Structure 1
Amino acid sequence: MPRSTALDPLFTAVNAAAFTDRHIANLAAGTLAAVRVPGFLDRSTCASALSALDRLPTADYDPARVPTPIVRFGPALNDYRDHDGALDTDRYWRDAEAARAAWQRAGLRPDPIAVSLARLGSAWGAAVASATIGGRAVFGGTLREINAGALIHHDSITREFSAGLFDQEVVAQLAFNVWVTVPDAGGATTVWRHRWEPADEQYRQAYGYRPEAVEDCQRVSLAPERGDALLFNPANFHAVEPNPGGRRIAFAFFLALTTTGQLIAWS
């Protein structure tokens, strides 16, 4: 049966001068598609961050798992699941500590991750804390260069680690990106009003899904500008459009609203 083509008037993307607690609450509740803050980082901060990138040890994903080339820095928890769906703790903590040391050596000043977390904490009214596992803070803040696009996919820490992972209890997950350089064309982020359901597995493609999974679903698309920040709920299927030339580089992390009303962060 085809999906309804009726539109949800609440599923919209908004531009704002700054993130607010209302934005965060509405994204967590699913009554907003995305919030973009143009010029979140000024040109000087973007240029400073870009000049430091050569000092960070980046690498490509395994093409067997991620078929489109994506350059990255920093460990992401969902890359460290073992065959039983649990966290490979030895490998993760080793790489997390190495990434922290590399970040310090790179000397990003101002630090785009620290700036972003501080502003989001101010918006929420309380500092963003690190997610912890057994009392130990996980790594937060990755770099991604996505020029060939990213497949349609969703992100959910509670599905990826269904037995539980953090000391904190997660209610809703958000994704944050801030771009320090963008291409002249392409590279838009699209978010669909569709969350995973078992029937989607027939459309599975590598780590993501074929376009049929979101056929006829309402969507919003946002083309980034340098310095823009974007916040959305990654439980909604989303993808990145390829760009024909130039570089699309963002710093990113996940946020979660917890059962105690705290915001926590990880990557």
Structure 2
Amino acid sequence: MHPSSDRLDYRFDDRVAVQYDALRGHPPEVSPRIGEAIAGLAGSGARILEVGVGTGRIALPTVSAGGDVVGVDLSAEMLRALAGREQPNLALVRGDITRLPFCSNAFDAAVCVHVLHLVDSRTVLADLLRMVRPGGVIVLGRDWVDPASFAGALRNAFRQAVVDLAESIDFPTGARGLVQQLSELGGEPVYNGEEQVAVEWQTALSPRQVLDGIRSRDDAESWVLPDDLLTRVMSRLDAFAADHWSDLDSTHGVRRRFVYSLFRVPDNRPGG
């Protein structure tokens, strides 16, 4: 199951737009390297579509690295937060990413980062294959958190609580599932579809910050949970955290990465 467009716009209200960079933003020394990686994958002077541009945490450094970006997002508040930092080579469009209004072959590259869990991912990926020119690329990016860290332990406990408490739940399609979908649709995986590391860094996080991120639905997997189930899951997760860490506000070093899967659009794509 996926949130409706109305629910998506509600969740990304002015409160979330203000907090989004704090919850999901990259350190200032990391952000330019992500932009350089994406601009490099797309090619010099490439016209790049980013679906789910949000507050521009990916688009802005990509533009600074030489990309020409068109960013689409459903949330007026998220786009309003980004508009104050707009740059000449960044165009913003408010719209539903499952109904993108662009012609075939309009872009040299497309980028998706932490957005396809909100929608019918197969529909969006099929549309991107149409809108990116043959020979162009599609980049599926995500933020990786060390599964061996305390943050990874909390995520595993969260998933187990959902399994235990939910009668049924449709978890969002994960990174491997998206790679499979895009391959089935005709995208040509580069590096055999294996994720590549654009940049790795260490960050200081506390158990409370991770809990708050899940509770506020910043976490992709908590997006799909009904409110009553999320309340019960968080009750169990809060108890788990209290049993394992005496000080929930104490920070610990966590290894993080920005990783991506890369696909090339074939010359003989369906409908191309």
Higher RCO, Cα 8 Å, sep 6+:
1
TM-score normalised according to structure 1 size: 0.27
Q: Considering fraction of residues, name the structure with more strand.
A: 1
Q: Considering fraction of residues, name the structure with more helix.
A: 2
